[in-house]
Amino acid sequence: MPYKDLPDITQKQIEIIELVYKFRFMNRHQIQKIMGHKDYRRINAWLKDLVDKKYLGRIYSHKLLENTKPAIYYLDNHAILWCRYNMGYKYRQDDELGTREVKKFYDDKNASETFRNHCLTLCDVYLQYKEREKDIKCEYQYLTKTELWTYSKTDKDFDEMKQYIPDVFIEKITESKKDVTSTTFCLELFDSHVPRYALEYKVRQYIKLHDEEDWKRYGGLDEAFPQILFILPNQAKLNKLKNYIQELLSEAYDVEDITFMLTTYKKVMEQGISKDIWNTVTEE
């Protein structure tokens, strides 16, 4: 279908498409929370219309015990076409995204449950950060891997830097009467099936990133190296990785400004994103 023939949708429905582009998979509760609507029926009406018009795909199980879970939404063909002609301008002032950049969205209807849950969890983490803004009076900028890829896809050194793109890049911005400060974070969420060697490889990659100039794209206003946040599936993996990081940092050269912060998925979901949930590892 040509772009000009796409079915009409409202500005609020465009906001939903942009959110699903950001997170890849979202459920109705998450969409409603981010958009700040108290009436779930309005959200459901917008979503149903988007599904009917093939802007969104919908995953819902009618099986016993599973039919209480909210439906999961992803970009369908018309939304992918819409994103191709609009997201390039939003993220980097291009006229449109390349065919290869949107190809992955066509595969989302067949994505694994593990990948869907990974995306849903990162959206839950985003909501935790938005809740935290109210408590400590700051602002969190939260860029997902999809957004980071879109921003940087046209960079001449993209093929080299893509291995360093985290699940999420976060910038915490705090404004006082005197000045504005920011702290940056690279966040990685590890699924339960990820083997130990893959976790250790990720640590080495961040240390390698520290040794190269490209990391400065992740620096805040003070251009400091970002803090590295790992969310692990359980405490046992956290303990083993913590020991590995400590050994690696003690042997490495000039790593006094690298900070790894480790926690578990359970702590994030039960306690929220607070300083109490993190195990901090730095050069001793």
Q: What is the pLDDT of residues 230-277, one digit of tens each?
A: 999 999 999 999 999 999 999 888 888 899 999 999 999 999 888 889
Contact between 196 and 238 under an 8 Å Cβ cutoff? The reply is no
| pLDDT surpasses 80 at 136 | no
| pLDDT surpasses 80 at 119 | yes
Please tell me the least confidently modeled range out of 58-72, 122-136, 188-202: 58-72
Q: Give the pLDDT confidence of 19-36 residue by residue, as tens digits.
A: 999 999 999 999 999 999
- Averaged pLDDT for residues 59-82: 82
Q: Give the pLDDT confidence of 180-207 residue by residue, as tens digits.
A: 889 999 999 999 999 999 999 999 999 9
pTM for this prediction: 0.92
In the prediction, which pLDDT does 64 show?
47
Mean pLDDT value across the chain: 90
Torsion region of 243: left, alpha or beta (phi above 0 gives left; psi -120 to 50 gives alpha): alpha
| pLDDT surpasses 90 at 157 | no
In the prediction, which pLDDT does 149 show?
92
- Averaged pLDDT for residues 155-160: 77
| pLDDT surpasses 70 at 63 | no
| Residue with the larger pLDDT of the pair 151 and 2 | 151
